[in-house]
Each structure stands twice: as C-alpha cells, then as structure tokens.
Amino acid sequence: MASKNTKPADGASYKDIVYEVIDQVAWITIDRPHTLNACRELTLDEIRHAVENTRNDASIACVVITGAGDRAFCSGGDFDSMMRLNWINAMHWNERMLGCAMAIRGATIPVIAMVNGWCMGGGHELALWCDIVVASEHAVFGQSGAKVGACPTVGATQYIPRIIGERLAREMIFCARRFSAEEAVRIGLANHCVPHAQLRAKTLELCESIKSHSPQTIRMTKNSLNNESDDLYSSWRAGMELLAHVWGSEESLEGMRAFVEKRKPDFNQFRMRNKSVVDDYLAGIDWSDETELKAAARKAGAEAAPKPKK
C-alpha cells in the first residue's frame, strides 16, 4: 500500500494548495479551480513553502506541481490581486514570484510540471521554472501578457529564447501566440504529450525513474545544469523593476479590465496619445540657425572683454 502524508514536515496547513507525499513524491496541487487555478499572493507563498519544506524530508525524491480539475494547470496571476498593484507596492507581488521561482530552481530534487490544461502567462512561467514538463493532449501553452497589459519578465523573457529560439520566443511574447501540447513538445516547451487519461501515469513513470537513480548525482547535476542560466539572475531583477512600472499603469488596467469584462482591449488609444505627445515635442524643436543670437553674443563678449592696460 502506498505511503501517504498530507502535511509538510513542519506540519503547516494550506488554503490554496493541496499537499501530499505519496511514495516519496511530493504532490503540490493548485486548488483554485474557480479561477482556473490562478495564483494570488497566498498561492505563491504556499507553493514556495511547500517546495522549500521538501528538504526537511530527505526521502522525497521529486516534486510534482499540477492544477486541480481538468481545465487548467495554472492560468497565471489572479487579476483581483494584480489590478491592485502599482509601482509602490509591486515588490510585494514581484518578490513572491521570484521567491517561488528560486525555491523551485533551488530545490535539490527535480520538480515536474504536470500540465493538465491551460498553462498561460504566469502559469507558463511556473512551468518554465520546473525541470520537466509533462502535458495532457489538451494542454495549451502561451504568454498572454501583451493581451492583458502585463509583462512576462520573471522567467519568460529569460528562458523561452533559450528553449525555443529567439525568433519564435519573440513571436510567442509579442503576438501572444499559443501552442498546443503537441507543438510544445516539438519546439521544446514540454517533454511529453500524452492522452489526458494517461497524464498521471506518465508522470509517475518519470517519478519512478528518478527514484531509482542516485539522489547525489541528481542534486549535483541539477545544480550544474542551472549554473549557466543562473547567470540570468540580474535579468530577473531588472525585469521585476520593469514590471513594477507596468503594474497600475493605464495600459495594464485597460488590458485586465477588458479581460474581466470579456471585451477587446483598446490599446491603440495609448499609441495615439503617445503620438500626440511626440508630435507636440517634435513641433516644438527649434531648427533656426540662431545667426542673430550668435552675433549678439559675440558682440557682447567682445565688449565685456577686459581692455589691455596701456
């Protein structure tokens, strides 16, 4: 019979996630199906805590992160949280994102994303932070930031070009292009695409493989595999400051409100307003040759110059 524990080693209880350790595998399920498993502040805190707490039980061989239900892995950030953000309070959200990412990348054991549906925006960044991605055939991967006025700079702009190449990464982010699970495997965003009914079985197969191998080797090689991309940390920090200026802006609020109201966002209004500002600036540039001003300045300078003593 499978051994099972539903609390982390420190006995913490959770509200937004379900935590289970079954046969040396820690399962973290985002349990917010009413939001398509979107993350609020508490969700990020709990994922981070659960991942970090696995180090208190050295028998755990790997972590699996998934979403409750059959519709979504994680649809990204909860708009109720994100629409309250601005440049002043942005650190409270951005640092949570970064902390969650660093907990997953810094775990000494592999973390598997079991993608059972929508994997969008910040939810896709969550999958990017993981070591292995197993996807259901109906999973969809995408970066929706450009559609809702958000900015995917906490992993997406750093890792996607390294995984699928610069050109496709730019199209994915600039055009909010989505990929099916099969396409995700083909371009490298996922390791496996399987029928939905076989998703857990395939994930367990990978877990069993990991369990049969040297934990010391896995720990050392994960650290080594992370080494080069860890140099991107400065880009994460810069990205979070860029994101801080996006939160609370008129564009970001228009994008998120449009999504909530199920309408097309009007981003062109900002382009036209910006055009007016630039046009006003260009119209005010002084292109004169200033001949008279220069002559007057030279004359005044000559008159003010000290006279030689006799």
- Residue 104 CA, chain-centre distance (Å), reads 13
Kindly report, residue by residue over 183-203, the tens digit of the pLDDT: 999 999 999 999 999 999 999
Structure confidence at residue 2 as a pLDDT band (50, 70, 90):
low
Residue 290 pLDDT: 87
Cα–Cα distance for residue pair 244/87, rounded to 1 Å: 5
Residue 1 has pLDDT above 60, yes or no: no
Average of per-residue pLDDT values in the chain: 94
What's the pLDDT score for residue 148? Answer: 95
| pLDDT score for 7 | 67
Tens digits of residue pLDDT in 56-71: 999 999 999 999 999 9
pLDDT at 229: 87
Domain boundaries, the chain: 4-248, 250-285
Predicted confidence (pLDDT) per residue in 64-98, tens digit: 999 999 999 999 999 999 999 999 999 999 999 99
Q: What is the pLDDT of residue 32?
A: 98
CATH class name, domain 4-248: alpha beta
